[in-house]
Structure 1
Amino acid sequence: MQNSSIQLADVIYNPAEQTFEALVTVNRDGVTRTYPCAINAPITMTFEQAAQGLRKQAERRDAKGGGMYSEQVLRAAKQRAGRPRFDPRRWLESLVALPGNRAA
C-alpha cells in the first residue's frame, strides 16, 4: 500500500504563456519529490480547476518516474562519534588550576 499526499506551492498565472504554474510536492512512502508543473488554461478558470489539473500532472509525472524533479529522502540522523560536548565551566576550572596562574 502506498501512502501519498500532494501539496501545491506558489501557484501563479503566467499571462505571457497563458498557463497556471506551480511547484507540486508529492510525498510517497517517505520520498518527497517536487515537480514544476504548468497547464494551459484561460485566466477565467477557477483556482480549484487549475489546482486539480496541476495535481493530475504531478501524479502522472510521479507514476512515470521520469522528467525533471527534485527529491528529498528522509533519513534519521546518525549519532556522531566526535569529541565530548564542550563544558565552559570545566574549561575555566582547568585554566585556574594550571600552575603559575593566579586567579583574580
Structure 2
Amino acid sequence: MQIEKIQFDDIRYNPEIGAFETLVRVHDGGQGYSYPVRVAAPLHAEYGLIARGLSEAARRAHRRGNPMLRLAHAAPTPQTDTTVQASNSLLDRLFGARAA
C-alpha cells in the first residue's frame, strides 16, 4: 500500500472525550478511502501535533483495512464530450442542413 495523499475534513474538538475528531480521506493506488479518526489532546494543543496524530491514526486504520470503518469512494467516471451537441441549435437538429 502506497498512500499518495491524506486530506482532512473539518477538525472538531469533542470536549466530552477531550479529543480532536475528523473524517480523513486517504488516496491509495488511485482509489479514495475515508476513515473517522480522533486524537486525544487538550484544546490548546499545537496544530502540528494534532495533524500528525490524526494522520497516523488514518494510516493505522488504512493498514488494518477494517471494512467496518472503511468508506471506499467510487472511481471518477470519465466525462463525455458534450460541446458538439451544445453547439448545434435546436433548429439545426430539427431541420438538419436545410437552408432557411
TM-score by length of 1: 0.70
- Of 38-47 and 26-35, more deviation after overlay is shown by 38-47
Query: Cα gap change, 1:42/1:62 in structure 2, threshold over 3 Å: closer, same or farther?
Result: same
CA drift of 1:40 comes to: 1.7
| Residue pair 1:30, 1:73 contacting (<8 A) in 2 also | no
Q: Which has the larger radius of gyration?
A: 1
CA drift of 1:75 comes to: 4.5
Residues 28-39 of structure 1 correspond to what in structure 2 (within 5 A)? Answer: 28-39=28-39
**Residue segments in structure 2 that go unaligned for 5+ positions in a row:** none
Q: Deviations over 1:38-88 (max 9, x none)?
A: 122211211110111110000000001104132113254386xxxxx5854
Query: Cα gap change, 1:16/1:3 in structure 2, threshold over 3 Å: closer, same or farther?
Result: closer
Residues 8-87 of structure 1 correspond to what in structure 2 (within 5 A)? Answer: 8-66=8-66, 67-77=68-78, 85=85, 87=88
- 1 CA distance for matches of 2:15 and 2:40? 10
- Of 25-34 and 64-73, more deviation after overlay is shown by 64-73
CA RMSD in angstroms, aligned pairs only: 2.9
Query: Residue 92 of structure 2 is aligned with which of 90, 93, 97?
Result: 90
**Residue segments in structure 1 that go unaligned for 5+ positions in a row:** 80-84, 98-104
What letter corresponds to residue 90 of structure 1 in structure 2?
D
TM-score by length of 2: 0.73
1:7 is matched with 7
Number of equivalences? 93
